[in-house]
């Protein structure tokens, strides 16, 4: 196959990208995105600050632009993200306790209700675990509403849209030896044991010199999958853009049947949150395929 999406489809997987609504008027951008990718994540447009700028007043204009572009071009959509300590609107940052808990529930119902039946998978909870060696939860206003906030979010989400897969999504949970990875693993195991609804784990997979790709990544994917959840690589980028590392990541996903798809976090280097200088993606700023692109395509085709 000659595109990333078609090559991934050969093994029943998808290959996605993050899309920014503000770039949909850029024809180089949309041409590449439409040709190469079959799963779309809104880079910012479905987040809390974008979708509920005022309490109880939802705004789906930017989110719908990304959603409609995707669906009009025959692509599926991952929803990102419903409960997160970051990119909260000011009114939510000002809440605490039971009123914040209720606002989280109302937000999940409002956004998932709007997109009910239309989303492949939602990142229900994003980045709830702490960096470093604790293996515990991150301190946040949501965490301070009570340790059960994550399972409440998942139970709310299941009821709001039973057709969407429900994912827990985080960064620095790629290295199997890291405490943060183990913390999330223990949570997912507990949820499966107690029947808390969860269908997938998103490994963001932002690789850089502080959190480099490690060959135990495949063990991480296998271990989560063995708990009975899908694994998705949700925000892949690699600082420096090593073609070898890109191939390793793809091969690790392909080695695990329940690793169902890969999403890169942007189209061209110039679209990346890291800046073009980091060279983290598969296309250069002119829209040319990089060595990393060929390496990913080959890996997918050799599956």
Any idea which residues carry the catalytic annotation?
235
| 8 Å CB contact between 180 and 138 | no
Q: Hey, which residues between 148 and 167 contact ligand G3I (CB under 6 A)?
A: none
With binding defined as CB under 6 A, does residue 269 bind ligand G3I?
Answer: no
Q: At its nearest, how many Å lie between ligand G3I and the CB of residue 209?
A: 16
Rg (CA), the chain: 18
Cβ nearer to ligand G3I, comparing 69 with 171 = 171
Q: At its nearest, how many Å lie between ligand G3I and the CB of residue 237?
A: 8
With binding defined as CB under 6 A, does residue 59 bind ligand G3I?
Answer: no
| 8 Å CB contact between 112 and 122 | yes
Q: At its nearest, how many Å lie between ligand G3I and the CB of residue 195?
A: 28
| 8 Å CB contact between 178 and 129 | no
Q: How far is Cα 195 from Cα 175, in angstroms, rounded to an integer?
A: 26
| 8 Å CB contact between 18 and 266 | yes
| 8 Å CB contact between 121 and 167 | yes
Q: Which residue in 252, 243, 282 sits closest to 35, CA to CA?
A: 282
Q: At its nearest, how many Å lie between ligand G3I and the CB of residue 175?
A: 17
With binding defined as CB under 6 A, does residue 98 bind ligand G3I?
Answer: no
With binding defined as CB under 6 A, does residue 140 bind ligand G3I?
Answer: no
Give me the half-sphere count of Cα atoms (radius 13 Å) on the Cβ side of residue 21. Answer: 15
Cβ nearer to ligand G3I, comparing 127 with 151 = 127
Q: Hey, which residues between 190 and 249 contact ligand G3I (CB under 6 A)?
A: 204, 235
| 8 Å CB contact between 77 and 39 | yes
Cβ nearer to ligand G3I, comparing 82 with 247 = 82
With binding defined as CB under 6 A, does residue 88 bind ligand G3I?
Answer: no
| 8 Å CB contact between 234 and 263 | yes
Cβ nearer to ligand G3I, comparing 254 with 282 = 282
Q: How far is Cα 222 from Cα 238, in angstroms, rounded to an integer?
A: 21
Q: How far is Cα 257 from Cα 252, in angstroms, rounded to an integer?
A: 10
With binding defined as CB under 6 A, does residue 87 bind ligand G3I?
Answer: yes
Out of 9, 28, 44, 73, point to the residue binding ligand G3I (CB under 6 A).
44
Q: At its nearest, how many Å lie between ligand G3I and the CB of residue 86?
A: 5
- Interface residues with ligand G3I (CB under 6 A) are 43-44, 86-87, 171, 204, 235, 273
């Amino acid at each position: 196959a000659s595109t990333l999406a078609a090559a991934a489809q050969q093994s029943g997987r998808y290959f996605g990208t993050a899309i920014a609504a503000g770039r949909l008027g850029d024809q180089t951008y949309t041409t590449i995105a439409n040709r190469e990718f079959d799963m779309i994540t809104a880079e910012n447009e479905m987040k809390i600050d974008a979708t509920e700028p005022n309490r109880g007043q939802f705004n789906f204009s930017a989110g719908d632009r990304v959603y409609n572009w995707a669906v009009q071009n025959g692509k599926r959509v991952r929803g990102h993200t419903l409960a997160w300590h970051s990119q909260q609107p000011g009114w939510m940052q000002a809440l605490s306790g039971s009123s914040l808990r209720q606002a989280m529930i109302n937000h999940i119902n409002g956004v998932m209700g709007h997109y009910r039946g239309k989303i492949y998978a939602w990142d229900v909870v994003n980045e709830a675990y702490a960096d470093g060696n604790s293996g515990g939860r991150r301190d946040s206003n949501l965490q301070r509403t009570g340790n059960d906030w994550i399972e409440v979010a998942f139970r709310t989400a299941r009821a709001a849209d039973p057709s969407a897969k429900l994912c827990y999504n985080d960064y620095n949970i790629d290295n199997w030896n890291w405490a943060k990875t183990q913390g999330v693993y223990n949570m997912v195991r507990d949820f499966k044991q107690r029947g808390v609804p969860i269908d997938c784990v998103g490994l963001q997979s932002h690789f850089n010199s502080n959190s480099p790709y490690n060959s135990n990544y495949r063990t991480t994917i296998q271990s989560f999958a063995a708990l009975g959840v899908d694994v998705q690589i949700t925000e892949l980028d690699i600082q420096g853009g090593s073609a070898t590392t890109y191939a390793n990541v793809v091969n690790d996903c392909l080695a695990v049947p329940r690793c169902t798809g890969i999403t890169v976090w942007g189209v061209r280097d110039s679209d990346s949150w890291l800046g073009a200088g980091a060279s983290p993606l598969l296309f250069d700023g002119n829209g040319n395929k990089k060595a990393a692109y060929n390496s990913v395509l080959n890996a997918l085709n050799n599956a």
